Amino acid sequence: MTASPQDNLAALYPAHLAEIERRSADALAACGRDTLVVAAGQPHLWFLDDEGYPFKPNPHFLNWLPLADAPGSWLVYTPGARPKLVFLQPRDYWHVVPAAPAGYWVEHFDIATVHTPEAARAQLPQDPSRCAIVGAANAAIGDCVPDNPAALMHLLHYRRACKTPYEVTMLRVASRIGVHGHRAAAQGFREGLSEFDIHCRYLEATRLSEHQLPYGNIIALDAHGAVLHYMHQDRNPPAHAHSFLIDAGGAFHGYASDITRTYAAPEATEWQALIDAVDAAQQGFCAKVRAGQSYPELHVHAHHVLMQAMHDQGFITCSAEAAVASGISSAFFPHGLGHLIGLQVHDVAGLARNEAGDTLPSPAGHPYLRNTRTLVPGMAVTIEPGLYFIEMLLAELKAKSAAKDVNWAKVDAFRKYGGIRIEDDVVCTEGAPLNLTRDAFAAA
């Protein structure tokens, strides 16, 4: 899938590039270097093998230009000068050689096409000591060795949380791609397919191969939904599936979507009622993605709302406040409300206090929250509340004094369903939040 005409990437890109140049100039000043040199990266080989892992480009490289399949290439930027792309196009008859750069962005770069790493090194600055070189260790060529200066990385990561309009468009297209897969997967569940066959339906609908997915698909039927990162994918379908949880995303030029939905079989009406309660709560949390909102406070608020739903549906007998205070809520909702998203699914600097690398701790009792920042316009976050029936956590809860406030008969009846998670990608704006996921489902 490509961007549609109304997305107008060509019109949005110049302002995006100017913003990346500004951030880079400030980051170079922070670390006392003159030139930024960014490696696209190199594939990593398996241990004792000549085969390797799928190539995953450096996100700092992708932040400049939508070139996701250019291993061995480099980006060079000196403030005040045009950025330069050193594009490696090897002479190779064993593999498909990357096509020459083309598209709306090429006019903004000086492009040097080379055919060997040695020729690439000749196009990079001669004195690497005055450069901030960003990349993985295996990207080094000669004396041009990535050193990733901390002051530069902290500033770039902190600011990357705020997306440009160009990046929001990339995320929007990634959401559309993911939604195509989700719709196909939901139909596969209704047809009684196995987890593996549902996964294959997802790949077919998104037109992505497995290594192009932003993360491994979570395709969970029944009790498997209680495994937060379930990736086993049974080949055999159950005799009759009661529930289906899918956490799967799309990718577009390196930008990711992260979408979760949960479904009930037609006869599982009580399970559907709980899904509806989580969905209603989740939409309320999405509506709070506004400038000035503390994300940790929103996370704690989510615990109270979800426990009220558990109380209303007869799972607990105490108040929502008591359930949060006693730790009951953490047994049923053990992960964070969400995280930053962008070039990485769990985008960097979610715990950053400032550009200097200081951090903001998670709230007491909530160690798995991946975003502790206050929301500002441009931030893209996930909102993914959940309720689960996890055997290990329920056993721990049953041994505590708070167990008296749990309706164990009802809990036991729901273990077979696994868990519920509803997840959208939402952008904070100057006004109302932009829900990329709901918009994509509505458009589909």
The range of the structural domain enclosing residue 391 comes to 165-443
How many residues in the chain? 444
Q: For residue 257, what are its two tokens?
A: 């979507």
Exposure b/e, 305-342, CB count within 10 A at least 16 = b: bbbbbbbebebbebebebbbebebbbbbbbbbbbbbbb
Asked if 204 and 107 sit in the same domain, the reply is no
Residue bearing tokens 């056993």 = 395
pLDDT in 10s for each residue of the chain, 444 residues: 555 544 699 999 999 999 999 999 999 999 999 999 999 999 999 999 999 999 999 999 999 999 999 999 999 999 999 999 999 999 988 888 889 999 999 999 999 999 999 999 999 999 999 999 999 999 999 999 999 999 999 999 999 999 999 999 999 999 999 999 999 999 999 999 999 999 999 999 999 999 999 999 999 999 999 999 999 999 999 999 999 999 999 999 999 999 999 999 999 999 999 999 999 999 999 999 999 999 999 999 999 999 999 999 999 999 999 999 999 999 999 999 999 999 999 999 999 999 999 999 999 999 999 999 999 999 999 999 999 999 999 999 999 999 999 999 999 999 999 999 999 999 999 999 999 999 999 999
Q: Which bin fits 214, alpha (ψ -120 to 50), beta or left (φ > 0)?
A: alpha
Residue 335 and residue 396 in one domain: yes
Return d(Cα 336, Cα 370) in angstroms, integer. Answer: 7
For residue 325, report the phi and psi dihedrals to the nearest 5 degrees. -65, -35
Burial class, 195, CB count within 10 angstroms (exposed 0-12 / middle 13-18 / buried 19+): buried
Neighbour-count burial of 126, counting CB atoms closer than 10 A to its CB (0-12 exposed, 13-18 middle, 19+ buried): exposed
Which of these three, 160, 180, 205, is where a domain ends? Answer: 160
The amino acid at residue 287 is A
Whether residues 58 and 110 share a domain: the answer is: yes
Residues 203 and 143 in one domain: no
Same domain, 125 and 250: no
What CATH number did the domain enclosing 153 receive? 3.40.350.10
Specify the pTM: 0.96
Same domain for 329 and 184: yes
Assess whether 126 and 217 both reside in one domain: no
Domain of residue 314, CATH code: 3.90.230.10
Answer with the one of 160, 184, 204 that is the final residue of a domain: 160
The alpha-carbon radius of gyration of the chain (Å, integer) is: 24
Number of domains in the chain: 2
Which two structure tokens, joined as six digits, stand for 380? 């893209």
What's CA 187's distance to the chain center, in Å? 24
Q: Which of 398, 284, 285 is nearest to 332 (CA)?
A: 398
Is the same domain home to 186 and 106? no
Dig out the tokens for 303 from the structure.
Answer: 């615990």
| Six token digits for residue 96 | 């498909």
Residues 189 and 109 occupy one common structural domain:
no
Burial classification of residue 208, based on how many CB atoms lie within 10 Å of its CB (0-12 exposed, 13-18 middle, 19 or more buried) = buried
| 291 and 415 fall within a common domain | yes
Where among 141, 160, 179 does a domain terminate?
160
Show the beta-strand stretches assigned E in 305-428: 380-383, 386-388, 419-421, 424-427
Kindly state whether residues 50 and 179 are assigned to the same domain.
Answer: no
Do both 212 and 176 map to the same domain? yes
- What is the distance between the alpha carbons of residues 362 and 123, in angstroms, rounded to a whole number? 45
